[in-house]
Structure 1
Amino acid sequence: MAAKTFARRVAGVWREIVGVVVSTGAANDGDIPALDATGRLHTSVMPVGYGADTKVVVASEALSAGNLVNLYDNAGTINVRKADASVEGKECNGFVLAAVVQGGNATVYFSRLITGLSGLTDGARYYLATTPGGLTATPVTGVGTVDQYIGKATSTSELTFEPDDYVVKAS
């Protein structure tokens, strides 16, 4: 990708300056930010309090990028695992954008877009699937399963994350 540059007059001479994509803090005082490869500002250039709502949690199983996840108490310690509509207690609380190995630290997102997905129908509603960590375009049915709305596709690869309360099906 080409560098994002602009012209600035420095000591009477015009110079080409590269915009900052990722801030290192005070060292970038006065620099002009540039958009990243996704066309967005990196969270490091945002003021404190702005950015994704996340929590870093130990993964009790391997997770793939885009998995819907469930936070749970594992012997007094919060852990994260794949959400699963097959059974009550594994409802969706968030999602991950990066793969994590079992025992690794997962960054769990609680709001924003789930990116990097594939095969979605733009504008379609999606629900928690009985495939652990997955989505389905059809609400889940069956005794003891969990029917939980997750969000709406904004493209074939992105989904707004707006999980609803879940319902445990009686039939």
Structure 2
Amino acid sequence: MDPSTSVFNGMRMAGIDLVVSVPCVNLKDILPMIDNDPNIIHVPVTREEEGVGICAGAYMGGKVPAMLMQNSGLGNSINALASLNKLFHIPLVLIMSHRGIEGETICAQVPMGQLTPSLLDSMDIPYVVPTIDNVEDAIIHAWNIAADKGRPVAVLLEIGFWEAE
């Protein structure tokens, strides 16, 4: 199975029914799958902190939210994640294309790529780094932790994850 389909299947199996997305080349093939699923609401946004707010409101309205984003957008969403999700115990799965690590071809991605795990750790946001073989279970696990602990949880999809495509 291709990586995008595996991510999509993991979201469906986790019960995710609202997806906010910020443009990312690695996540682009998942978007048509979401748009074609009548059980998932897709809300494209231009900035990550906007997505955090929409997901928080959707959760309060009974939805199971996830946000598709590139890790470079983590910096844009830190305040919203800390002052909204963490403070009010609102679960959210952040499915991130982890750019800027080994194998990256664009040097501008490297600084944030290297900082991403440390930023997540400093914000006390747990994260998993799945392979194609366990991404479905990893997304389910991420939502279970998010819902149980009332917090954001990240799923980091590293460059090697996409090599199966």
State the TM-score, normalized to the length of structure 1: 0.27
State the TM-score, normalized to the length of structure 2: 0.27
Higher fraction of strand: 1
Higher fraction of helix: 2
Q: Which has the higher contact order (CA 8 A, sep 6+)?
A: 2
